[in-house]
Structure 1
Amino acid sequence: MEKRFLGKTGLEVSVIGFGGIPIQKLDKEKAIDLIKELSIQGINFIDTARGYTVSEELIGYGLEKVGRDKFVLATKSMARDYEGMKNEIETSLNNLKTKCIDLYQLHNVRTEAEYDNIIGEDGALKALEESKAEGKIKHIGITSHDLNILEKAIESGYFETIQFPYNPVERQAEELFERANKLGMGVIVMKPLAGGAIINAALSLRFVLENSNISSAIPGMDSIEQIKENAKVGNEYKRLSDAEREIILAEAKDLGTEFCRRCGYCAPCPQGIDIPVQFLMEGYYSRYNLKDWAKERYTSFTNKASDCIECGQCETRCPYDLPIRKMLKKVVNILG
């Protein structure tokens, strides 16, 4: 597996990492099998979060079986204050069954007010710095979906890594990545497959890795087959041909800007609608010539887009500020 340095941290990470969101859907034994397969395929970078329900615990079981020393381990928390972050770090250490976490990140910082709280006198950054001094964590990072927030973070000198979405559709951070790299910061890419919206997965990953400012891309994976397919990109890496680049850029153009990355932050819906799945079915129907299958699947759902009461709770949680209510209406118009 090709490896790159995570900025000036000294950590050498696989260019394909493991995104820990989907593992929360598995049971303990299947989760352990996934962690074993990561080691077999040469993937040494794992990224999870306190907010991914049981993801940390399941990864912890896998680390216990496979060996903590085989992985560079990253997690993150939404805590913004000192006491909250101190507690979160202890929980993460316990869940992951480790004495030290390689990278602890501030998770999804969305507003300047949040950022100011974090770096304030009783903010979460103070707790992270103390834990680093105590040897409980090695490095401090930050994740966001807002370019302005990460621009401030990069210039602050507080953080050693950043994490931001990047794929053939979402390329707005390219200059920011270059600046971070020049300052010696590690650059971690979330959503390298646009949350599963991109069908040509290998081409998308290769597109991402062509950017030399990027340290690692972390697609979410919940099966051994996905691990093998994605790891192959790092194990047999080659740049895109002109024809392949045309294919992946055409797909990106077709997706447009209003599409769901399936991050799940919109949940829970008060009406029990699995919102990302509604958009997935519409995508299969509209873009991938699976009309009958998508219609049949959609019709079988107990709760579907037509049950939306337009309360708007989902939109307040969406890190991409998508007009979810409008998008659900489109699903209803197409699928019923």
Structure 2
Amino acid sequence: MARIILGKTGLEIEKNGFGALPIQRVDFNESAEIVRKAYNNGINFFDTARAYTDSEEKLNYAFKGFDKEFPRESIIIASKTQGENRRDIEKDIKTSLDNLGTDYIDLYQIHNPSFCPTEGDGSGAYDALFDLYDEGTIRHIGFTSHKYELAEEAIHSGLYETIQFPFSYLTGPKELAIVEMARANNIGFIAMKAMSGGLIRSSKAAFAYINHFDNVVPIWGVQKLSELDEFLSYMADDTKLDKQLEEIIAKEREELQGDFCRGCGYCMPCPEDIQIFICARMSLWIRRFPAEPNLNEETQEKMRKIEDCTECRQCVMKCPYELDIPELLKKNYEDYKKILSGEIKV
């Protein structure tokens, strides 16, 4: 197992963290089994968020309220607030502390804000974070974003100790620039979307790619013990890039080049109730994971909703990747109909 210091926080963590978003989808006992196995195999950094429904509560349940078996000081908890003003942040931190069953949070991150909060900017957001830090309720302050410009601003502000940003072998020069910018400023870099929202097929290649960046901490999102076992095996072997994995990465990059939906969901909700994060990447899903559920009546109904799109472009304004979502929806729908009719074979 490899331990690193998370930037200027000084926190010593296992280089591979646990992303607790997916445990929303499993029950308390199943999620507890996954979380405990991760901890018992060396993972000590657990990332959750106020926005992840019952994820915080499930971590508390898994760690039995941080009893002797799971001492609080041995577990680094990161959570997030979507608040952009003092009132909302103070409300969120109280709820998170109650949910987690703790009186402090090791790393508290502002969660994909629409701007980069700074001291005295009038929003009260950073001032609220600093006051929580000053009183010891939070130990470190972090920033998460999907937008390059905001991530860059946060790093150069000197106010944040960590940056959480999408990073995988499908990302490009801008993302690499953020990694190096974080390194130069001793900012801890936490990689979200390390499996590119599920589009990456090879977890081994994903692990090996990120593993060769000594300042990048991926938070692997798992909801099955089998998925966790894969990452634990790579950690135990210290899996490195080799020719075979590099060939896999090259092929994946070729298949997924250009604009594609990452499935972050920030475009939602849609006024016409279109499930954009599913429909806008259906073609990719079918080609990469050709399975019956993608073609059943329920999925067909979801795809037919694309016909209701009014091109209001609210989704475009909210998309952190500035994708032309109405156009992506159209392309996916036409492709989907051709697959259903047998015109295109997958």
TM over 0.5: yes
Tell me the TM-score normalized by structure 2. 0.87
Are the equivalent residues in 1 in contact too, given 2:7–2:186 (CA < 8 A)? yes
Asked if 1:99 corresponds to 2:98, the answer is no
Q: Specify the alignment match of 2:5 in structure 1.
A: 5
Partner of 1:189: 191
Structure 1 residues 47-86: aligned runs within 5 Å: 47-64=47-64, 67=70, 68-86=72-90
CA displacement 1:253-276 (0-9 Å, x = unmatched): 211132222223333344544433
Residues in 2 aligned to 1:102 and 1:250: alpha-carbon distance in whole angstroms: 39
Between stretches 47-56 and 262-271, larger displacement belongs to 262-271
Contact 2:280 2:325 in 1 (8 A): no
- Which ranges of structure 2 fall in alignment gaps of 5 or more residues? 338-346
- Alpha-carbon distance in structure 1 between the residues aligned to 2:11 and 2:158: 18
Q: Deviation at 1:166?
A: 0.9
- 1:199 paired residue number: 201
- What's 1:26 paired with? 26
Moved more, 98-107 or 80-89: 80-89
1:54 Cα deviation (Å)?
Answer: 2.0
Return the offset for 1:99.
Answer: 1.0
- Residues 279 and 41 of structure 1: is their aligned pair in 2 closer, same or farther, counting only changes over 3 Å? farther
1:257–1:75 CA distance, 2 compared to 1 (3 A): farther
Distance in 1 between the 2:302 and 2:131 partners?
Answer: 47
The corresponding residue for 1:179 is 181
Name which structure has the greater RCO, CA cutoff 8 Å, separation 6+. Answer: 1
Work out the CA distance in 2 between the residues paired with 1:325 and 1:41: 44
Report the equivalent of 1:150.
Answer: 151
Shift in Å at residue 150 of structure 1?
1.7
Identical aligned pairs, as a percentage? 35
Cα-to-partner distance string for 1:63-104 (whole Å, 9 max, x where unaligned): 325623442110111111122212211111111111110000
Aligned in 2, Cα 1:279/1:16: closer, same or farther, shift over 3 Å?
Answer: farther
* SS of aligned partner of 1:304: helix
1:162/1:202 CA distance change after superposition, 3 Å: same
Mapping of residues 246-257 of structure 1, within 5 Å: 246-257=247-258
Query: Deviation digits for residues 294-319 of structure 1, max 9, x if unmatched?
Result: 6533x343731221222444434332
1:123, distance to aligned residue in structure 2 (A): 1.7
Q: Which runs of 5+ in 1 are unaligned?
A: none
Q: Which residue of 2 aligns with 1:42?
A: 42
> Cα deviation per residue 1:161-180 (whole Å; 9 max; x = unaligned)?
11111111113222222222
What are the Cα deviations for residues 143-190 of structure 1, in whole angstroms up to 9, with x where unaligned? Answer: 111222122211221111111111111132222222222222111011
| Deviation by residue 1:125-155 (Cα, 9 ceiling, x = unmatched) | 1111111111111000101112221222112
Given the superposition, is the C-alpha separation of residues 64 and 294 from structure 1 closer, same or farther in structure 2, using an over 3 Å criterion? Answer: closer
Residue identity in the other structure for 1:211: F
Cα deviation for residue 56 of structure 1 reads: 1.7
Cα pair 1:47 1:73 within 8 Å, conserved: yes
* Contact kept? 2:163, 2:187, Cα under 8 Å: yes
TM-score (norm 1): 0.89
What SS class does the counterpart of residue 303 from structure 1 fall into?
A: helix
Q: Evaluate the alpha carbon distance shift between residue 233 and residue 134 of structure 1 in structure 2; reply closer, same or farther with a 3 A threshold.
A: same
Residue type of the partner of 2:292?
W
- Whether the 8 Å contact between 2:293 and 2:299 is mirrored in structure 1 is no
Measure the CA separation in 1 of the matches of 2:315 and 2:37.
35
User: Is 2:305 the counterpart of 1:301?
Assistant: no
Is the CA contact 1:81–1:117 (under 8 Å) kept in the aligned structure 2? no
The answer to whether the Cα contact below 8 Å between 1:189 and 1:217 also exists between their aligned partners in 2 is: yes
Displacement of 1:243 in angstroms is 3.1
Report the CA distance between 1:225 and its aligned residue. Answer: 1.2
> Aligned partners of 2:117 and 2:203: how far apart in 1?
37
